[in-house]
């Protein structure tokens, strides 16, 4: 029987898996932002010697996975599984990145929630006794995403003020059954929420209710007080979505606005790098989590965070067919010490 399930959406680990290493690689624009010093590698350009943006994105993810394994000092053969996903059609970036690793692979699609989805499942199969070392990873690339979801970059199309800038970046986490933290203690899995937003240039508004729903569920389910966390870090709601999520939570009686920060808000400088509503893409929360947040936890500047990556689950066809944007958010509770 499901002894680790607390309530509908949340599980608690008997032996919380440890994050034993992370890695992150970002593009030049992200490397020029406020979190620059936290990333392992900053690319000089968006192609990294590849012939296409898709190949470049896949290379960034591949090298990021290689990097986390090398940094850990473990042989490749010690890695039991990889969970990964991205935004490209049919998760192209992940499939090509992982084909050379020889490591059993579970492909995910959670849009920009993928990093938290991957951490959730990796933690479950480690605590469940099925693996000792698992990698969770995600990627996105500004150019491959614009080409696929919006307009040819060459057109120089003006972006809406509510739109977010897809991050060129990746992050990879090596989770292990043994280690001295930081630990994943709880996972709250999202359900799909769709409040009828159908503006593909306002993803933050579409995703905010899903973030609020999962955050509420986490506190309801666990009985943990928000004060137990230094921050509740949403995936990439951006400025607009973060404000909406804060409003929804506040109206629901959950006073967490002083705890809420967002990867899409933090990764770019609002004044100097104006990207309108903030950063987005699977690689946004992946690089900010595996770069900035992990390193701040390791150094002790942060102790406990709730990492809540959010995804907008539409595609270009659904938007053309007038559909609204279903969204999801997955939450992962991370503690420096148990």
| Binding-site string for a second copy from residue 14 to residue 53, where x marks contact by CB under 8 A and - marks none | x------------------------------------xx-
Q: Is 76 in the site for a second copy (CB under 8 A)?
A: no
Q: Is 103 in the site for a second copy (CB under 8 A)?
A: yes
Q: Which is nearer to a second copy, 16 or 190 (CB)?
A: 190
Q: Which is nearer to a second copy, 120 or 202 (CB)?
A: 120
Q: Is 151 in the site for a second copy (CB under 8 A)?
A: no
Q: Is 204 in the site for a second copy (CB under 8 A)?
A: no
Residues 68/173, Cβ–Cβ less than 8 Å: yes
Q: Which is nearer to a second copy, 205 or 297 (CB)?
A: 205
Could you say which of 129, 161, 255, 269 contacts a second copy (CB under 8 A)? 129
Distance CA 240, CA 4 (A): 36
Q: Is 8 in the site for a second copy (CB under 8 A)?
A: yes
Could you say which of 39, 48, 81, 219 contacts a second copy (CB under 8 A)? 81
Shortest distance, position 310 Cβ to a second copy, whole Å: 13
234: left (phi over 0), alpha (psi -120 to 50) or beta: beta
User: Which region among 102-110, 159-167, 228-236, 299-307 touches a second copy (by CB under 8 A)?
Assistant: 102-110
On the 0-12 / 13-18 / 19+ scale of CB atoms within 10 A, 106 is middle
Q: Is 120 in the site for a second copy (CB under 8 A)?
A: yes
Distance CA 198, CA 212 (A): 19
Distance CA 47, CA 194 (A): 35
Q: Which is nearer to a second copy, 4 or 276 (CB)?
A: 4
CA 79 to each of CA 90, 170, 208, 311: distance values in angstroms, whole numbers, following the listed order: 24, 19, 35, 27
Q: Is 190 in the site for a second copy (CB under 8 A)?
A: yes
For 28, other C-beta atoms within 10 Å of its C-beta total 12
Q: Is 328 in the site for a second copy (CB under 8 A)?
A: yes
Please give the DSSP secondary-structure letter assigned to residue 261.
E
Distance CA 286, CA 23 (A): 9
Determine which helix (DSSP H) or strand (DSSP E) holds 205, and give its type and residue range: helix 203-222
Could you say which of 109, 224, 243, 296 contacts a second copy (CB under 8 A)? 109
Q: Is 201 in the site for a second copy (CB under 8 A)?
A: no
Distance between the two ends of the chain, CA-based, in angstroms? 25
Q: Is 273 in the site for a second copy (CB under 8 A)?
A: no
Residues 83/118, Cβ–Cβ less than 8 Å: yes
Q: Is 126 in the site for a second copy (CB under 8 A)?
A: yes
Q: Is 85 in the site for a second copy (CB under 8 A)?
A: yes
- Cα–Cα–Cα angle for 280, 86, 59, rounded to 5 degrees: 105
Residues that bind a second copy (CB under 8 A): 1-5, 8-9, 11, 14, 51-52, 54-55, 77, 80-81, 85, 87-92, 95-96, 98-99, 101-111, 117, 120-121, 124-132, 148, 177-178, 189-194, 313-318, 321, 323, 326, 328
């Amino acid at each position: 029987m499901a002894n680790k399930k607390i309530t509908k959406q949340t599980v608690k680990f008997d032996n919380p898996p440890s994050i034993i290493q992370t890695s992150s690689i970002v593009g030049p624009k992200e490397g020029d932002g406020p979190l620059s010093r936290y990333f392992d590698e900053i690319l000089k350009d968006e192609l990294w010697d590849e012939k296409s943006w898709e190949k470049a994105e896949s290379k960034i993810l591949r090298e990021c996975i290689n990097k986390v394994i090398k940094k850990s000092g473990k042989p490749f053969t010690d890695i039991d599984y990889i969970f990964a996903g991205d935004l490209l059609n049919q998760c192209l970036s992940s499939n090509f990145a992982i084909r050379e690793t020889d490591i059993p692979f579970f492909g995910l699609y959670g849009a920009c929630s993928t990093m938290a989805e991957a951490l959730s499942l990796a933690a479950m199969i480690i605590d469940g006794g099925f693996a000792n070392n698992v990698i969770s990873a995600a990627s996105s690339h500004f150019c491959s995403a614009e080409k696929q979801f919006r307009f040819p970059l060459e057109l120089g199309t003006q972006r809406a003020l509510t739109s977010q800038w897809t991050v060129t970046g990746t992050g990879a986490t090596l989770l292990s059954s043994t280690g001295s933290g930081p630990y994943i203690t709880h996972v709250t899995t999202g359900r799909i929420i769709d409040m009828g937003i159908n503006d593909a240039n306002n993803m933050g508004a579409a995703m905010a209710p899903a973030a609020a729903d999962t955050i509420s569920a986490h506190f309801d389910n666990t009985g943990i007080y928000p004060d137990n966390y230094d921050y509740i870090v949403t995936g990439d709601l951006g400025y607009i979505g973060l404000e909406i999520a804060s409003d929804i939570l506040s109206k629901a009686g959950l006073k967490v606005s002083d705890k809420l920060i967002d990867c899409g808000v933090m990764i770019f400088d609002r004044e100097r790098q104006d990207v309108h509503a903030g950063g987005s893409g699977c690689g946004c929360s992946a690089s900010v989590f595996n770069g900035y947040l992990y390193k701040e936890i390791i150094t002790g500047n942060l102790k406990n965070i709730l990492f809540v990556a959010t995804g907008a689950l539409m595609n270009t066809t659904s938007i053309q067919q007038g559909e609204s944007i279903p969204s999801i958010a997955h939450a992962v509770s991370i503690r420096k010490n148990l």
